[in-house]
Structure 1
Amino acid sequence: MPSETSVIDWLLASDPAIRWQVLRDLLDAPEPVWSAERQKVETEGWGARLLSYQDEDGQWAGGSFVPSDFTREEWQATGQPWTATNFSLTQLREFGLDPKSERAKATVALVGANCRWDEGGQPFWEGEVEECINGRTVGDGAYFGVDVSPIVERLLGERQADGGWNCERARGSVRSSFHTTINVLEGLLEFERATGGTAQSREARRSGEEYLLARHLMRRLSTGELVDETFLQFLHPNRWRFDVLRALDYFRASAMLTGVAPDPRLTEATEYLRSRRLEDGRWPLDWRASGRTWFVMDDGEGEPSRWVTLRALRVLKWWDDWKAAVA
């Protein structure tokens, strides 16, 4: 296998959105170094490109969850669209746009003033009815400095008895969903990072984590069988979808915030992640969600992916550093 250095060099020969995270998470660079690279997200590469598509009123594609010109027929023919405000804000958060920048502040204000949810016409920063969507809205709002505590309170009251969440709750579901739960967990983690959280939000986050950990991130609690083959297939961007790499990256971020040691029940997923490494030291993009996008950031399905590789390497670094420390 080629040296780790060659893989790092490949990652660094990329976009600022990748580079600053490599500097921080893989190379342990001082904050002034990675922060300076992070500032380029607004003016260069993918971040600047996504911002260039923003409407004058602060939205993207004229809508909250779907573009204003989108039709049910297009959804059926080509798949769910990913260009509207909700997914664009989440993408900017993943890129690392500085939430204190004037552009970010202006975006937050404009979205709050002009964007309404397709579902019921609610102001964007008040959230809507689906837990999956509200989880991302909490994450985006907390990251960009919005008071999203009312949405958090709503999510706390919508937990299933098994500890997680499901967008189908309003339609009668009494069991949690891996997909919905990871979206809510990421949102609650961002809320906790921004505000410290509340005793109730921290407890809810622990219950959601336990839902995933009890199932080893992939297995049915009742039988131990694999829940879904797609959980083992890496994609990017994940949008609302769950896979074990997304979950592992979440647990890493949670541990980095709280100082909690990795749970042993993550072992199976971590070793599976390790087993998927290519001979050249990188990880492939297994698939990409269909549907309208602003632009593509990887070379295609089956090809090495910088996003997947970045996330995989930082998960394994966290896991292996912990094992070395306790050995």
Structure 2
Amino acid sequence: MPYAPELLDWLLDSDPALRWQVERDLVGAPEETWRATRARVATEGFGARLLALQDPDGQWAGGAFFPAGYQGDDEGQPWTATTWSLTTLRDWGLDAAALAGTAELIAANSRWEYDDLPYWGGEVDCCINSYTLANGAWLGVDVSGIARWFVDHRLPDGGWNCEWVEGSTRSSFHSTLNSLKGLLYYEAATGGSDAPRAARHAGEEYLLERRLLRTLSTGDLVGPWATRFGYPFRWGYSALNAVDYFRGATLHDGVGPDPRLADAIEVIRAARRPDGTWLQEGRHPGRVWFEVDVPPGEPSKWLSFYGTRVLDWWDGATGA
């Protein structure tokens, strides 16, 4: 679709972590152009700042999922420890070569807060395991055991729930989306295998049956968070986060978009402002290394990129 020049100019005037994606997915820049920008993530801006905060033992903030010494008394969850830092750098497109040796250091020095389990073996929380699955595949670790874990821990209704260990038997939108994102990244990075791929497709069906927004039993909106957009996404579910996943999954699988995405697409479209931007509506509270987007109520470059990208994909594929 055509874009207003001022919108593209605004999005391109960004940190390399965002700019290279705008160049590739919205501008259609030559591959050598966006790859050159992507390479700058390691040496400039957000990526370089986060890399510089890595501990000598390979971790960030001295912990696996929480910072060392965390007592649970912060407002919100802290987002500074190893798992969140790795996930952020991967999402920003950092070349894994910039973290040479990190996987081995983490294997030697990082243990999960849950039962002191070894880092690359994963633990019992499916969201944590999804980040570990993707980050391990990114850094070249054999995390096939975690991929099998997702096959074994999918719930009877088709998805996943991080509270399964507490006895929950109903899938969660949040947990299912995070699990899907990890499985898709692993599959794309390694080629995957049949059982995790089948689990991914079944988890997708769980969300599609609910049109990404509604409970199956009543058809009511699953929660206000489903239509509220904030960046960084963290672990939280939203229609935008989910549709962006399905965009990647359909492109990976070589299929067209499922018609059941239409309701979520319209939620995203309705949130677009006349100037083509989306507002930051709310972020997960908690300790961060540094801010990477605007406060609530202001136009967000990250959300505007994701919103524009998914509508461009949908409209191009469906002729909308």
Instruction: Kindly provide the amino acid, as one letter, of the partner of residue 291 in structure 2.
Output: V
The answer to whether structure 1 residue 123 and structure 2 residue 125 are counterparts is no
The corresponding residue for 2:8 is 8
- How many Å separate the matches in 1 of 2:307 and 2:110? 35
2:26 paired with 1:29: no
Q: Secondary structure at the match of 1:168?
A: helix
Match of 2:84 in 1: 87
Q: Deviations over 1:124-146 (max 9, x none)?
A: 11111111110111111112222
**Corresponding residue SS for 1:37:** helix
Question: In structure 2, what is the Cα distance between the partners aligned to 1:119 and 1:56?
Answer: 23
Task: Tell me the equivalent position of 1:39.
Answer: 39
Report the equivalent of 2:306. Answer: 311
Q: Which runs of 5+ in 1 are unaligned?
A: none
1:282-311, Cα deviation, whole Å (9 max, x unpaired): 111100111111111112101111111111
Distance 1:230 1:272 in 2: 12
CA RMSD of aligned residues (A): 1.3
1:258 counterpart = 2:258: no
Q: Which moved further from structure 2: 24-33 or 294-303?
A: 24-33
Ranges of 4+ aligned residues in structure 1 off by more than 3 Å: none
2-side partners of 1:242 and 1:179: how far apart?
A: 5
Q: Does 1:275 align with 2:270?
A: yes
- Matched residue, 2:135: 140
Q: Distance in 1 between matches of 2:100 and 2:265?
A: 38
Cα distance in 2 between the residues matched to 1:297 and 1:210: 33
Query: Percent sequence identity over matched residues?
Result: 52
Give the counterpart of 2:198 among 196, 203, 216. Answer: 203
- Scaled by the length of structure 1, the TM-score of the pair is 0.95
Cα distance, 1:106 vs structure 2: 2.2
Tell me which amino acid in the other structure corresponds to 2:226. Answer: F
Q: What's the secondary structure of 2:231's corresponding residue? A: coil
Q: Distance in 2 between matches of 1:270 and 1:313?
A: 11
Unaligned runs of 5+ in 2: none
> Which residue does the alignment assign to 1:215?
210
Length-normalised TM-score, structure 2:
0.97
1:102-251 paired onto structure 2 within 5 Å = 103-251=98-246
Report deviation, 1:93: 0.8
Q: Tell me, in whole angstroms, the C-alpha distance in 2 between the residues paired with 1:319 and 1:124.
A: 38
Q: In structure 1, which of residues 273, 288, 302 is the aligned counterpart of residue 297 of structure 2?
A: 302
Task: Measure the CA separation in 1 of the matches of 2:277 and 2:37.
Answer: 23
Measure, in 1, the Cα distance between the counterparts of 2:16 and 2:300: 15
Residue identity in the other structure for 1:127 = G
Q: Measure how far apart 1:69 and its partner are.
A: 2.4
Question: Does structure 1 conserve the Cα–Cα contact (< 8 Å) formed by 2:150 and 2:196?
Answer: no
Q: How far, CA to CA, are the matches of 2:138 and 2:182 in structure 1?
A: 9
Residues 170-191 of structure 1: per-residue CA shift (max 9 Å, x gap): 1111110011111110000011
